[in-house]
Structure 1
Amino acid sequence: MQITDATRPALADLDLRSELSTLRRELHRYPELGFEERATAERLRSWLVERGLEPSAPLAGTGFMVEVEGERPGPTVAYRADMDALPIQEATDVPYRSCTPGVMHACGHDGHMAIGCGVALLASRRRDEIAGTVRVFFQPCEERMPSGGPRMIADGVLDGVAAAYAVHLEPTLPVGRFGFRSGPLTAACAPFVVTVASDKSGHSARPHEAVDTVWVATQVATELYQLVGRVTDARKAAVLTLCRFQGGDALNVIPARVEFGGTLRCVDGETLAFLREKVRRVAGALGAVYGADVDVHFEPSLPAVVNTAPEVVAARTAAVDVLGAEAAVDLALPSMGGEDFAYYLERVPGAMVRVGSAGGADTRYPLHHARFDLDEAALPLAARLMTEVCIRDLTSRS
């Protein structure tokens, strides 16, 4: 093959794809849960060191960052990648499937880490274009609360940062497409647990002589499911979902305690606060009517990811310039999923970009599915784009 100026970018992408795919598959084979990503962090560190980069001391336990300083002085922009996996048994039969029973990268964080490494590598090759510093950081525990974002911030990862960027894989978009949205990109999320209790258990033959905690719990659950759209404005997105229901051991004993819980998600904080209070009041009132002690415990809420408009516009322009007009997809609606990148955007401007990861039937499974996988052609494209976004951001601020 004759190498020309026109073919060099394509060859570079092939080399980068090979490097990032190999790394991603290693990370996929050995997933680790939040704040346990020790082997994951060690592999990332060694990969970066092998390429002449210098990772920092640990942050937030297993997290760390690496900085690429340009040849000219200027501000710092940050790029974040998350490291943790989910407690899901993988159901794929790919050769790089998880070797850790009950744990897999079902949300694509293995891809996020590979892209983050790609951004650091590509930025290091473009130091002469950089006016300032590109800070790439790897965060533990994005998937559960309390998450790693606040701990990374407390350990200084945003010190001196002018803007922050991140990506999330999106299996509803094909490879080569990137989703952009100003304003809310994800929902605020409030996990909660409801406990229905009595001072004694009862016989299933005589429920009238006891407090039927299972029945009371189902009444509370039914009422909670009816709140959204009945006490809130249906034009403001909200969803309440129950995911856990536990109580009792015997088929003929009414248990003294039943517990259930799930998440409440809203795009805006006002609706979230209103529904939190409604959940407490409805649950408490029904418990009082039927003689049960009902307690509602909300865990700390995760805020919504709110992208700032100037950074979204600049990132979208970069996508068009680097990858073509068809690469940019405008997202009309936010996701109701939660993302702790929100904590960073509460403090600095920035944007999260959705990365199309579907290349066929095997890579269209939704996030958190036991058969989730990604088309690795997305990795070099995302790394190229986000490197360009970071460098352009620095240039605009210099």
Structure 2
Amino acid sequence: MTELQELRRYRRDLHRIPELDFDLPQTIAYIEGVLAPLACEVTHPCPSCVCAFFDAGVGAARATAIRADMDALPIAEATGAAFASIHPGKMHACGHDGHMAMALAAATYVDRTIREQPGAIRRNVLFVFQPAEETTGGAKTVCESGVFERYGADRIFGFHVWPDLPAGTLASCSGPLLARSSETHIHIHGTSIHIAKTYGVPVEESHDVALAAAKFLVAERELMDELGADEPCIGKFGLLQAGTVCNAVAGEAHVAGSLRVFTDAMFDRAREGVRRALDEACTATGCTYDLDFAEGYPPVDNDPELFAHIAPALPELQLVDEPLLIAEDFAFYQRHLPGVFFLLGTGVPEGQENPIDADDCPAYAMSALHTDTMLFDEEILLKGLDVYKRLLLLD
């Protein structure tokens, strides 16, 4: 079986059985089945996590870790592919099936290399298949399990497939790559009365939560423009619910959104600014509020020393000019041990067609991540596998 056939088999098998969060029984069973014949120690250091440790047999005290995320999204697939999801309302729409396929193929490469070329791999290798990247940050639980200390892992690598880059593009950078995220929930409390009774009532005595929410959103937009002039940041609120009928002042409102920043200092400034804008909006309308900032994910911040060490082995690596305002729980690993995260382009190359194979799979991804038609051919994953192989051969 060629490497492409191997990648295609793993990816399509896993694409058919998407599961969510920590509830991953079929996915875990599949991964364990692939790992079972390999010369590795398989462990479960925390709930719904599968780790595979390979002893390189050269007396190495340190290990290189490779991470793959296993969970899917609550999206009903609409690709029409022959290997589409068999689980209604669930889909690997973020490419985690591809991430797992590359890691599994890398594991079989490590097993084969240790047997056939003793000494070629000079560090031990730890594969981490983690749950809950899309929800609660399963990487944090993995770090707290002690698995990296147990196996002497002192560096970690991971990938994310990326439709915004042409197929086969390898991209990353030293330092900040992806943003810190924090879901933000606001509940505004006022008084609901018939609108006829509000005539002549001053705004500051209106207790109108819809008006308070509107004032807050305008002020928050101005705040983000101000902060963004110093460094990239964004705060958007995509949910606004207020009131129950059209002829009564809304008495309760719920506003929810997300903050995305790259530094802890900017996160503190953004949170302080949001709280101030909310306080002013509620004071101006006679309302009160409750505000909750979720812990969220830290920023993905590639270790400069490790990046400099591996860069010569990856001459095709393109540098990301400006960090991206998305979030990824790989960030938790980087706060635990040095790590580098890569983007693997899966988009249509400029000026090229997008052929379809016999299984109705496009060669390149035409849809964005987290959409019901996100699909690409596994030939792109050969690039990621090749990068893993080069990284695993480094001292």
TM category, shorter: 0.7 to 0.9
- Equivalent residue for 1:225? 221
Residue 298 (structure 1) aligned with residue 293 (structure 2): yes
- Equivalent residue for 1:257? 252
- Equivalent residue for 2:359? none
- Equivalent residue for 1:278? 273
Work out whether residues 213 and 256 of structure 1, in 8 Å CA contact, stay in contact via their aligned partners in 2.
Answer: yes
Question: 1:108 aligned to 76, 86, 95, which one?
Answer: 95
**Partners of 1:34 and 1:49 in 2: how far apart?**
24
- Equivalent residue for 1:136? 127
- Equivalent residue for 1:32? 19
Per the alignment, do residues 388 and 288 of structure 1 end up closer, same or farther by CA in structure 2, a change over 3 Å counting?
same
Per-residue CA distance 1:237-290 (angstroms, 9 max, x = gap): 001111222233434443421101111111122111111111011101211110
The structural deviation recorded for 1:51 is: 4.4
Question: Following superposition of structure 1 onto structure 2, how do residues 1-398 of structure 1 map, counting pairs within 5 Å?
Answer: 15-51=2-38, 53-56=40-43, 58-74=44-60, 75-127=62-114, 128=118, 129-145=120-136, 147-159=137-149, 160-198=152-190, 200-207=191-198, 211-230=207-226, 232=227, 234-320=229-315, 327-359=316-348, 363-392=365-394, 395=395
Letter in 2 for 1:152: V
**Partners of 1:100 and 1:291 in 2: how far apart?**
49
TM-score scaled to structure 2, two decimals?
A: 0.88
The structural deviation recorded for 1:86 is: 1.8
Per-residue CA distance 1:90-147 (angstroms, 9 max, x = gap): 23222222233332222111111111111211111111212231000011111123x1
The structural deviation recorded for 1:204 is: 4.2
Work out whether residues 175 and 375 of structure 1, in 8 Å CA contact, stay in contact via their aligned partners in 2.
Answer: no
SS of residue matched to 1:228 = helix
The more displaced of 136-145 and 246-255 is 246-255
Work out whether residues 149 and 344 of structure 1, in 8 Å CA contact, stay in contact via their aligned partners in 2.
Answer: yes
SS of residue matched to 2:384 = helix
SS of residue matched to 1:111 = helix
Aligned length: 370
SS of residue matched to 1:229 = helix
**Partners of 2:196 and 2:312 in 1: how far apart?**
69
Letter in 2 for 1:154: E
**Partners of 1:46 and 1:109 in 2: how far apart?**
18
Letter in 2 for 1:246: Q
The structural deviation recorded for 1:50 is: 4.2
- Equivalent residue for 1:9? none
The structural deviation recorded for 1:81 is: 0.6
Letter in 1 for 2:11: R
The structural deviation recorded for 1:205 is: 4.3
Work out whether residues 179 and 323 of structure 2, in 8 Å CA contact, stay in contact via their aligned partners in 1.
Answer: yes
The structural deviation recorded for 1:150 is: 1.4
The structural deviation recorded for 1:291 is: 0.9
Per-residue CA distance 1:305-348 (angstroms, 9 max, x = gap): 1112232234333233xxxxxx3222111111011111111121
The more displaced of 311-320 and 80-89 is 311-320
SS of residue matched to 2:48 = coil
Per the alignment, do residues 133 and 52 of structure 1 end up closer, same or farther by CA in structure 2, a change over 3 Å counting?
closer
**Partners of 2:311 and 2:93 in 1: how far apart?**
27
The structural deviation recorded for 1:227 is: 0.9
Work out whether residues 180 and 331 of structure 1, in 8 Å CA contact, stay in contact via their aligned partners in 2.
Answer: yes
SS of residue matched to 1:153 = helix
Letter in 1 for 2:306: E
**Partners of 1:307 and 1:123 in 2: how far apart?**
24
- 5+ long unaligned stretches in structure 1: 1-11, 321-326
Identical positions, percent = 28
The structural deviation recorded for 1:158 is: 1.9
SS of residue matched to 1:96 = coil
Letter in 2 for 1:332: D
- Equivalent residue for 1:6? none
**Partners of 1:383 and 1:265 in 2: how far apart?**
30
Work out whether residues 242 and 263 of structure 1, in 8 Å CA contact, stay in contact via their aligned partners in 2.
Answer: yes
Work out whether residues 284 and 295 of structure 1, in 8 Å CA contact, stay in contact via their aligned partners in 2.
Answer: no
SS of residue matched to 1:300 = coil
TM-score scaled to structure 1, two decimals?
A: 0.87
Per the alignment, do residues 248 and 40 of structure 1 end up closer, same or farther by CA in structure 2, a change over 3 Å counting?
farther
Work out whether residues 89 and 103 of structure 1, in 8 Å CA contact, stay in contact via their aligned partners in 2.
Answer: yes
Work out whether residues 89 and 101 of structure 1, in 8 Å CA contact, stay in contact via their aligned partners in 2.
Answer: yes
